[in-house]
Amino acid sequence: MSVVLGLSACVVSSFCFGTMYVAVRRAGDPGDGMVVQWLVCSAIFLIGLLTYIFTGTPPFQHFAMFGGALWAVGNLTAIPIINAIGLGMGILIWGVCGCVVGWAIGRFGLFGLKESVPSSPNLNYAGLVFVIIGGILFALVRPKGKNDVQTVVDSASSELSRQAIPLTESAATGRGTVEERIGLVEMDGGGAERTAVAVDVVVRPRKSSGGAAVTSTNGLRGRVIGVVFSVFAGVCYGSMFTPVIYMQHNPQKFNNPPREAIHYVFSHFSGVYLTSTAVLLFYIGYKNNKPYIDSRLIFPSFLAGTFWAFAMLAWFMANDLLSQAITFPINSMAPGVIASLWSVFYFGEVDKKDLKLLTAAIFITIFGAILVGLSTAL
């Protein structure tokens, strides 16, 4: 029964992780992502506070905050990654890295943790290999690039030529503010005006109020940046449970630490929020108190943080019922599969010619995750 409950918790966790950034990607322009990540972490802190109250206000564990700090540092790269290689590919690639790091820490007892040996080590190894192969295939999938943008530009230009819509000089040259360009839509709301704004947004890098360019990065350079950031994020995500599990495995070194992982949630989430806030304050100072903010993203960012918080609650429960060596391969890779489905069927981020490669990668990854899950029960 504990295995079934643990795997069910992994399903809930994976769905929430894979869906958390969908509303953010849909709602508006996240810019450099600094304000968005703080809003996400603010929602996380609120859910953590409610959990702390409902669990009877257990003692605060300062050491567990380091795990939250690791996640917050990795989360700083989330928006740049999504802008560079897309929602699905970003989550899939950082999931592979997080999977390998988290699995290795739990399986071999790194950093002072107890070694976690599954019932069927060979099946566990085989599952991990399939997960890694799937991750490599995901990295080969190309997001839609400049050719797709050019098609949109040509179509929009033809529409403008037929309608002969007059534009203000600032809007026509792309030097106007976001508010000025949105005003074109609000004055009439016609299709051509919307097309004019669409062309301006897609073709020209927009400047935030702080002066930072906000663009969608394509091409080889963008993919390399996205992959490198994803690897860094994966290492951070793969290590985030280490402080909590270390305390559980070494209670003699701490002042009566709780055994249940749920009692570490508020401490972990506090580390997330404090790190995020410190980064935001530094960013605001660097931007001379002119951070980039899109008001359309406030609620979606809070929603993303809520999804993440519930995903982590489920993951903490899964770690207690199973082990990190089992949960990490599943919860690191399955969210990427879900995110890739959003990318293909909702955002259209993947070319049709790459769908076969993506499909093969998804099935290989799912097969690997199933093998890892079975390795604890056979």
Is the same domain home to 266 and 165? no
Is the same domain home to 327 and 362? yes
In the listed set 159, 194, 214, which residue is the last one of a domain according to the structure?
214
In the listed set 214, 232, 261, which residue is the last one of a domain according to the structure?
214
Is the same domain home to 232 and 294? yes
- What are 198-239's pLDDT values in tens digits? 444 443 444 444 333 334 445 778 888 888 999 999 999 989
Q: Give this prediction's pTM.
A: 0.73
Is the same domain home to 272 and 335? yes
Is the same domain home to 245 and 327? yes
Per-run averaged pLDDT (10 residues), the chain, 378 residues: 85 92 85 90 96 92 94 91 81 82 81 81 87 77 55 42 43 44 41 42 41 49 86 91 88 85 93 96 93 90 95 89 75 80 78 80 82 72
Is the same domain home to 17 and 105? yes
Is the same domain home to 243 and 112? yes
How much is the pLDDT for 310?
Answer: 96
How much is the pLDDT for 145?
Answer: 54
How much is the pLDDT for 296?
Answer: 92
How much is the pLDDT for 183?
Answer: 41
Is the same domain home to 302 and 167? no
How much is the pLDDT for 54?
Answer: 93
How much is the pLDDT for 345?
Answer: 79
Distance CA 367, CA 57 (A): 40
List C-alpha distances in Å: 55 to 236, 269, 321. 27, 15, 18
Total domains present in the chain: 2
In the listed set 166, 193, 214, which residue is the last one of a domain according to the structure?
214
Is the same domain home to 174 and 235? no
Is the same domain home to 208 and 228? no
Write out the residue range of the structural domain in which residue 299 sits: 2-143+218-374
| Angle 151-156-161 from CA coordinates, rounded to 5° | 130
Is the same domain home to 271 and 327? yes
Is the same domain home to 82 and 228? yes
- What are 232-251's pLDDT values in tens digits? 999 999 899 899 889 988 88
